[in-house]
């Protein structure tokens, strides 16, 4: 398989489609209305509780700007939100390159949108394992799969996509978009990618450290094995 060697990209990328799926919903009440104000045509894809939160924030504007990921992909969320965003159309939208003709043809063939920004933070694994009497099953259930995958995909494709993992960055992102007529620079996207990969690395390190410290007998106590 021949890997793509990208040479031509855009410094400024207008944010037309974003995907928002967060455990920490702080800051959304300002970030979402402001990003819609900057680009009234923006499309917001979202999941589960985040979708409900954004719908409440936007009120009557939600019908125009907001869509459930399950409606976009045509695949309903599985019980308990086990699978929400792991879908071909989502990752095509995250990983495609602007000046790759084959990628653009794939977008058209599948009627998929290029996703310009991902706003994701992860299931609270560290907070879960800090609770007294937490079981291995409690911890296992709080291992995020779709979130890290979206973060890594968007951060890998920083040449086009902004990967936002920290609500503390919302303000600076909005300022840059307001000045740039809704666009973010390559510099900003690269800085966000650095933070994104650090975020997933720390998350995985926490999970690995926790599992390595669990005696197997304690793990087995959680389950009835047939």
What is the reported pLDDT for 77? 73
Q: Residue 181 has what pLDDT? A: 96
Domain at 12-220, CATH class = alpha beta
User: In this predicted structure, what is the pLDDT of residue 80?
Assistant: 67
Q: Residue 54: is its pLDDT beyond 70? A: yes
Share of the chain above pLDDT 70, in %: 96
Tens digits of residue pLDDT in 210-226: 999 999 998 888 888 88
Give pLDDT, residue 205. Answer: 96
Distance of CA 51 to the CA centre of its chain: 13
Mean pLDDT of the 188-200 span: 97
**Residue holding tokens 């966000």?**
192
Mean pLDDT for the chain? 93
Least Cα distance to 147 among 21, 28, 17, 33 occurs for: 21
Q: 51: part of which helix (H) or strand (E)?
A: helix 48-58
Q: Report the pLDDT averaged over residues 53-75.
A: 95
Q: How far apart are CA 32 and CA 174, in angstroms?
A: 10
The rounded distance, in Å, linking the Cα atoms of 140 and 99 is 41
SS3 state at 71: helix
Q: How far apart are CA 148 and CA 158, in angstroms?
A: 15
The predicted-structure confidence for 76-133, as pLDDT tens digits, reads as follows 777 666 677 789 999 999 999 999 999 999 999 999 999 999 999 887 888 889 998 8
> Which residue intervals of 60-183 are DSSP H helices?
62-65, 69-73, 88-95, 101-110, 125-129, 136-141, 146-156, 170-179
Q: Are 146 and 118 in contact (CB under 8 A)?
A: no
Boundaries of every domain in the chain = 12-220
Any idea which of 58-67, 70-79, 105-114, 199-208 has the lowest mean pLDDT?
70-79
Tell me the mean pLDDT in the region 33-48. 97
Evaluated on CA atoms 33, 36, 40, 41, the torsion sign reads negative
Residue 201, pLDDT score: 96
């Amino acid at each position: 398989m021949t890997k793509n060697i990208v040479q031509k990209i855009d410094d400024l990328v207008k944010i037309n489609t974003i995907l928002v799926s967060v455990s920490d919903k702080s800051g959304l009440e300002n970030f979402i209305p402001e990003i819609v104000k900057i680009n009234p045509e923006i499309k917001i894809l979202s999941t589960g509780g985040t979708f409900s939160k954004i719908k409440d924030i936007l009120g009557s504007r939600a019908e125009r700007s907001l869509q459930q990921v399950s409606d976009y992909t045509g695949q309903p969320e599985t019980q308990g939100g086990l699978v929400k965003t792991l879908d071909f159309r989502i990752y095509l939208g995250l990983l495609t390159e602007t000046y790759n003709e084959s990628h653009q043809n794939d977008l058209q063939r599948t009627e998929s949108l290029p996703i310009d920004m991902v706003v994701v933070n992860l299931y609270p694994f560290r907070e879960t394992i800090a609770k007294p009497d937490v079981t291995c099953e409690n911890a296992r259930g709080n291992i995020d799969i779709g979130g890290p995958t979206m973060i890594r995909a968007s951060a890998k494709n920083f040449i086009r996509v902004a990967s936002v993992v920290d609500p503390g960055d919302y303000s600076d992102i909005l300022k840059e978009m307001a000045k740039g007529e809704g666009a973010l620079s390559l510099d900003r996207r690269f800085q966000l990618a650095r933070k994104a990969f650090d975020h997933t690395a720390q998350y995985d390190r926490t999970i690995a450290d926790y599992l390595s410290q669990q005696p197997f007998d304690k793990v087995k106590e959680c389950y009835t094995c047939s």
